[in-house]
Amino acid sequence: MIMSDSKALYIGHVLLNGEYVNVRMEHGVFTGVGKDVKPEPGDEIFHSDLMKNMAIVPPFYNMHTHAAMTLLRGYADDMELFTWLNEHIWPFEAKMTADDIRIGSELAVLEMIKSGTVFFNDMYWNTEVTWKVLDRMGIRGCMGVTLIDNIGEERIEASFDVFEKYVGRSSRILMSLAPHAVYTVGEKLWLRAVETVRKHHAFCHFHLSETKKEVHDCVKEHGLSPVRWLDKLGVLGPDCIAAHVVHVDAEELAIMKERGVTIAHNPISNMKLSSGFFRTKMVIDSGCRVTVGTDGCSSNNNLDMREEVKCASMIAKCNYGPEILPVDMAVDWATKNGAEAFGINGGEIKVGKVADALLIDLDNERFVPCYNFNSNLVNASSNEAFNTLICDGKIVMKDRKVKDEERIIAEAKECCKKWMK
């Protein structure tokens, strides 16, 4: 199923930007894209058993999630964020073992592969477990080591040790420190986190201005909104990925733009937890880099990036008019912008870019007719049209089959029985 590292891959006659081309990739990058590109001796020639007519597109970048929370899918619905966290999610997570996190992370990576995602920006516990899952299953990611004040000094030190152990170990698997939010992390830990991140040229991933309560409480405690307080501390910078960013004003967005902060928009989670609507027009006008994330499965309840992009687009149109978020811009938010945020030379099917690709079945009923490919991709398609996923020049899903998927699903079913009593 997964091609050997030594072989180049050649894909003939696929639709790209309205014309049929041939594509060749070797050593993890695209080496040829065009009508005249030919296979070279020893190349693996891609062939699908299910269809002949396919398009090639950049895969999705899920810019904010908590992978192992697949095990909490549907566990606590119909409540606002702080009740959901304090009374349900954190007590559940306290019972999870490292093996539970492995099982949940494998299920998450499987779900993301099947839904066309090649990269995810994670924030969770036992980060080293998810790192090993990702290494084995072959897609990209940034593994966030969660930091919260109340876990105690011993666990905080252990968290920094994990970060130090894994940062820089892989070009495919990046590392971040993930101070959870302004309401769970104090000044001392924020400052230590960003100092450590910048020492290693890594990343800082956190929740920001997700709810009105978060903003109100931060102003009450620090005299400043979350964005302004973190800026005063010197936290904000181009190595920061801020999730949600719902309750902000134009001045705060100007600060984030100036600092180079990337915003990870999570529309479905925002709606499910009744956190509020993203200020799409204000954010676009600010010039901030915008990306898209699903959040975790307990607040979504899936990891389907195509569905997330559609919701982002429809909410924007409903609130600000039909032209505010064109479909091509929405696709860039979910692909190219995520790659740029992490300094990955990807998100496009071009010579010299990293060889990540999603092959789509154009004979699927939801791509017929095809007046506007990106409109079909975002507004009409389903995952059933996603035939093959390639990461770093290697096939990780072919004909919708992923290595070990039956075992992964069976293990997850068995694992969750203990919480269903």
Which CATH code of 3.40.190.10, 3.30.428.10, 3.40.50.300, 3.20.20.140 fits the domain covering 60-341?
3.20.20.140
Q: Which residue has the tokens 């990337």?
A: 262
Dist CA 297 CA 387 (whole Å): 23
Q: What is the pLDDT of residue 419?
A: 86
Q: Which residue has the tokens 């979504």?
A: 300
Overall residue count recorded for the chain in this entry: 421
CATH of domain 9-58+349-405: 2.30.40.10
Residue whose C-alpha is closest to residue 186's, from 144, 162, 151, 158? 151
Extents of the domains making up the chain: 9-58+349-405, 60-341
Q: What is the pLDDT of residue 76?
A: 87
Q: What is the pLDDT of residue 51?
A: 66
Contacts of 97 (CB under 8 A, 6+ apart): none
Q: What is the pLDDT of residue 6?
A: 55
- The helix-helix angle for 226-233 and 212-222 (nearest 10°) equals 50
CB-count exposure of residue 317 (10 Å: 0-12, 13-18, 19+) = middle
Residue whose C-alpha is closest to residue 296's, from 62, 122, 66? 66
Could you tell me whether strands 29-34 and 262-265 are parallel, antiparallel, or unpaired per DSSP bridges? unpaired
Q: What is the pLDDT of residue 4?
A: 43
- pLDDT tens digits, the chain, 421 residues: what are they? 344 455 899 999 999 999 999 999 999 999 999 999 999 999 999 988 766 799 999 999 999 999 999 999 999 899 888 998 899 898 999 899 999 999 999 999 999 999 999 999 999 999 999 999 999 999 999 999 999 999 999 999 999 999 999 999 999 999 999 999 999 999 999 999 999 999 999 999 999 999 999 999 999 999 999 999 999 999 999 999 999 999 999 999 999 999 999 999 999 999 999 999 999 999 999 999 999 999 999 999 999 999 999 999 999 999 999 999 999 999 999 999 999 999 999 999 999 999 999 999 999 999 999 999 999 999 999 999 999 999 999 999 999 999 999 999 999 999 999 888 6
Dist CA 257 CA 237 (whole Å): 9
Q: Which residue has the tokens 């919260």?
A: 148
CB-count exposure of residue 78 (10 Å: 0-12, 13-18, 19+) = exposed
Dist CA 318 CA 316 (whole Å): 5
Q: What is the pLDDT of residue 2?
A: 44
b/e 198-231 (16+ beta carbons within 10 angstroms → b): eeeebbbbbbbbbbeebbeebeeebebbbbbbbb
Q: What is the pLDDT of residue 5?
A: 53
Per DSSP, the residues of 224-270 read: S-HHHHHHHHT--STTEEEEE--S--HHHHHHHHHHTPEEEE-HHHH
Q: Torsion angle, CA of 203/274/266/259, rounded to 10 degrees?
A: -50
Dist CA 299 CA 269 (whole Å): 5
Contacts of 371 (CB under 8 A, 6+ apart): none
User: Under a CB-based contact definition with an 8 Å cutoff, are residues 244 and 283 in contact?
Assistant: no
Dist CA 143 CA 326 (whole Å): 31
Cβ neighbours around 324 below 10 Å, total: 16
Dist CA 228 CA 255 (whole Å): 8
Q: What is the pLDDT of residue 355?
A: 98
Q: What single-letter DSSP state applies at residue 151?
A: G
The SS3 of residue 401 is: strand
CA-based torsion, 237, 240, 276, 268: positive or negative: positive
Beta-bridged to residue 241, according to DSSP, are: 205, 262
Global pTM value: 0.97
